[in-house]
Amino acid sequence: MSPAGAKVSSVFITFEGGDGAGKSTQVRMLTDWLNAHGQPAVSTEEPGGTELGRVLRELILYGEDMDPRTEALLYAADRAHHIDTVVRPALAAGKIVVSDRYFDSSVAYQGVGRGLGAEWVERLNLWGAHELKPGLTILLDLDPQRLPERITRDLDRLERAGQEFHALTRQAFLDRAAAEPDRFVTIDAAPGIEEVAEAVRRVVRERLGISE
């Protein structure tokens, strides 16, 4: 259920899930598919969807260690700027926005994984985003045990957080999906890229009424 006052946008689509689940690939593929089907769409990501976000991304993921509150506040600051300068203008222009992560990631990672409290982190981030909630959130679910085979580059700070942390965040995502079935659709991220992409397209066709 959406918090009181939350504004739901049916053309704001977010992808959530653990590290290595293939969100970036699926965001790109869905955006290309939407544009090919006459549905103007743009893709973006958090953090990193703005110039400021790219700086914050480097600091958060590859900079010095920081306490959980600092981490949470930096993500929230990036999100507020991203929504104000990228997402809302695109929605106002009639475009579908497809984002790699949104506030559900902060709730799972900082609220649950870092132990700051899911409710507090959600309130902070929705306040920063002027209460904007996506109309559709696609959760790509993957067993965190598969992280080493999915990510072969050097891991960032969150990816290095350990199996217990990733198990907590995975469960947090699943719990959120169960609590908001009208917004979330969970898709198994274990199969191949094209199989997952087809599952994503089926969901989007149904939700947005797009025909082949």
The string of DSSP letters for 24-43 reads HHHHHHHHHHHHHTT--EEE
In a domain, 178, yes or no: yes
What is this structure's pTM?
0.89
Identify whether 179 is part of a domain.
yes
Q: Which pLDDT value is given to residue 187?
A: 98
183: domain range? 7-208
Instruction: Confirm whether 194 is domain-assigned.
Output: yes
User: What pLDDT, on a 0 to 100 scale, did the predictor assign at position 203?
Assistant: 96
Domain at 165, CATH number: 3.40.50.300
Instruction: Provide the domain count of the chain.
Output: 1
156 φ, ψ to 5°? -85, 180
Q: Is 1 within a domain? A: no
pLDDT on residue 3: 47
In a domain, 87, yes or no: yes
Pick out the chain residues at pLDDT < 50.
Answer: 1-5, 8
Could you tell me if residue 2 is inside a domain? no
State the sign of the Cα–Cα–Cα–Cα dihedral 171, 172, 174, 175.
Answer: positive
Q: What's the pLDDT at 4?
A: 44
Q: Please give the span between the terminal C-alpha atoms of the chain, in angstroms, as a whole number.
A: 31
pLDDT at 118: 97
Tell me, what's the pLDDT at 210? 83
